[in-house]
Structure 1
Amino acid sequence: MATIATMTVSFGLVAVPVRLSPATERNRVPLHEVHVRDTGRIRHRRFCELEDREVPYAEVGRGVEMPDGTVAALDEADLERLPLPSRRLINVLGFVPAAEIDPIMYGRAYYAHPAGSAAERPYEILVAALARTGLAGVAKTAIRSRERLAVLRPRHGVLVVHTVYWPDEIRDPGPASATPVTDRELELAEMLMNQLCGVDVKDLRDEYGEALQELAAAVTAGKELEPAPEPGRPPVDLMEALEASVRAAEAKRRPSETS
């Protein structure tokens, strides 16, 4: 895995140099922008709005707009001098029970491996302590040129650094539904959920990507595809639908339990 940054995890007086690498990747069929009439690829070019001309990538940098409207252009050398303590640091502010972190806050995930033999022992202690206590580290760090909150947690003996959204970046979902739920409805829903337990995520596959390939092949060959089935509509009698679902789930589960 490619290292995107070398940083130092700091908690208390302990410092652990680590190498960060992306923990996820996208393996999906891409939908390119094309010219519909001749399927030529659409390319986005970089134009300077002041000179009204295309500029090469070597001349493209980043800039910050100042209060008076002027723009300060920054190159990589300038960003290396960024006066921010968290620029090369994953500064652990404290530890909280991992279950208390709302999953909606999670962003990108990175694997952190020890950078050098001197880092191996404190790294192993940190990962083992997180695993045994069920705690997660809450930290500040700067990844990809901006300061972020981060959560440190163990996964299969490896430290994972999750960037998380700042609290003011989480949108308000609006008022919750005020529709009352009866005890019997809740009981049936829980029975159905218990019958449907045991999904192995490793066995799941990307059916959208397969369907997209099938569609592309059909369009190229001028063939028609069978229309996808319509999604189910809300049941007229909810209780009857829940009871039927429980019976169907029990019947489907019973052969696998006896085999």
Structure 2
Amino acid sequence: MRSIWKGVITFGLVNVPIKVYSATEDHDVSLHQVHDKDGGRIKYQRRCEICGKIISYDHIDKAYDDGDKTVILTDEDLKSLPEERSREIDVVEFVPSDQIDPIMFDRSYYLEPDSTSSKAYVLLRRTLEETDRTAIVRFALRQKTRLGALRVRNDVLMLQSLLWADEVREANFPSLDERVRISAKELEMSSSLVESFASDFSPEEFNDDYQEQLRTLIEVKLKKGDAVDTEETFGEEPEEEGEGGEVLDLMEALRKSVERSRGEKKPPAKGSKTKKAPTKTSGRSKSTA
């Protein structure tokens, strides 16, 4: 990995020099646009509307238009801002980790110690672990002041940029104001369905099916040409129950879902280990549908 930024975490009088790395990466197939008639690639040109010339990036500035006047902002103007020049990740406060709503998480970054001694880095990491707290920080990156959450993941400090409070929309749906009656039987059936899907989360067990199918389609087209039947390549999609205008009763849908889930569970291969979902014990026995 290559670091994208260098700075220092500051809390009190303690400074922790760090390097910043992107913690995630994109593996999607890269596609471009072409003309459907001749396959020619579609290009977007940065053309000046006054002189008509195509402009290279090193001659492009940013501008703000207030409706009457336009203010041009050069790269030097933007770099002169105090926040942009800052290389500090400033700890504002330490909060209980469960107080941060996951909807606020944006981008994730790994932090590596950038010093001959990693003692300050390890001290901060151990402190976060021992107190079960997350550090709320402020920092500037790529011409934007950001709020962030500093936490520990697998013995590494991780910085996750947070959305600002006014960037998270309120879910105001009038349809949820309607009073709905849920029977005890429906709730029991729904709970049985949850139990039938219960497991421990292992992200490595999940794949991006769309990207895999897209790669398969591309490989087939490369070998056979463009005249390829998608149905021939991937097979016919099974018709889902409830489609075609049929409206299933909620209880019937729950019952069929439980039956389907149980039917799809295959016995483990010989010698393989099975994951056991954690169960909660209580004074009442659980009933299944």
Q: Quote the Cα distance in structure 2 between the aligned partners of 1:2 and 1:35.
A: 37
Q: Aligned to 2:211, which of 202, 209, 221?
A: 209
Matched residue SS, 2:86: helix
Larger Rg: 2
- TM-score (ref. length: structure 2): 0.78
Measured on the aligned residues, the alpha-carbon RMSD in Å equals: 2.7
Identify if the C-alpha distance between structure 1 residues 94 and 245 changes in structure 2 by more than 3 Å, giving closer, same or farther: same
TM superposition shift of 1:201? 1.2
TM superposition shift of 1:253? 4.7
The letter of the residue matching 2:145 is: E
Aligned to 1:110: 109
The letter of the residue matching 2:110 is: Y
Asked whether the equivalents of residues 186 and 251 of structure 2 are also in contact (C-alpha less than 8 Å), the reply is yes
Aligned to 2:164: 166
The letter of the residue matching 2:101 is: D
Matched residue SS, 1:58: helix
Structure 1 runs, 4 residues or longer, greater than 6 Å off:
none
Q: Quote the Cα distance in structure 2 between the aligned partners of 1:180 and 1:52.
A: 65
Identify if the C-alpha distance between structure 1 residues 257 and 125 changes in structure 2 by more than 3 Å, giving closer, same or farther: farther
TM superposition shift of 1:171? 1.4
Deviations along 1:89-123, one digit per CA (max 9) or x if unpaired, are 111111222222111111111111111124x1111
1:137 aligns to 2:135 (yes or no) = yes
Aligned to 2:261: 249
Asked whether the equivalents of residues 63 and 70 of structure 2 are also in contact (C-alpha less than 8 Å), the reply is no
Alignment of 1:1-259 (within 5 A): 1-65=1-65, 69-75=69-75, 77-84=76-83, 87-118=86-117, 120-175=118-173, 177=176, 178=178, 179-198=180-199, 199-216=201-218, 217-218=220-221, 220-226=225-231, 227-230=236-239, 233=242, 236-250=248-262, 252-253=264-265, 255-256=267-268
Deviations along 1:131-166, one digit per CA (max 9) or x if unpaired, are 333321111111111111111111111111111111
Q: Quote the Cα distance in structure 1 between the aligned partners of 2:143 and 2:240.
A: 43
Q: Quote the Cα distance in structure 1 between the aligned partners of 2:129 and 2:240.
A: 41
Asked whether the equivalents of residues 22 and 108 of structure 2 are also in contact (C-alpha less than 8 Å), the reply is yes
The letter of the residue matching 1:112 is: L
Asked whether the equivalents of residues 84 and 141 of structure 2 are also in contact (C-alpha less than 8 Å), the reply is no
Deviations along 1:3-51, one digit per CA (max 9) or x if unpaired, are 1111111122221111111111101112311121122222222122333
Q: Quote the Cα distance in structure 2 between the aligned partners of 1:165 and 1:230.
A: 40
Identify if the C-alpha distance between structure 1 residues 31 and 12 changes in structure 2 by more than 3 Å, giving closer, same or farther: same
Identify if the C-alpha distance between structure 1 residues 231 and 135 changes in structure 2 by more than 3 Å, giving closer, same or farther: farther
Between 1:51-60 and 1:237-246, the stretch displaced more is 237-246
TM superposition shift of 1:245? 2.8
Q: Quote the Cα distance in structure 2 between the aligned partners of 1:30 and 1:11.
A: 42
Q: Quote the Cα distance in structure 2 between the aligned partners of 1:138 and 1:180.
A: 42
Between 1:16-25 and 1:217-226, the stretch displaced more is 217-226
Structure number with higher strand proportion:
1
Unaligned runs of 5+ in 1: none
Asked whether the equivalents of residues 87 and 143 of structure 1 are also in contact (C-alpha less than 8 Å), the reply is no
- TM-score (ref. length: structure 1): 0.86
Deviations along 1:187-207, one digit per CA (max 9) or x if unpaired, are 322332232122421021121
Matched residue SS, 2:82: coil
Identify if the C-alpha distance between structure 1 residues 131 and 58 changes in structure 2 by more than 3 Å, giving closer, same or farther: same
Q: Quote the Cα distance in structure 1 between the aligned partners of 2:143 and 2:120.
A: 27
TM superposition shift of 1:231? 5.2
Asked whether the equivalents of residues 86 and 140 of structure 1 are also in contact (C-alpha less than 8 Å), the reply is no
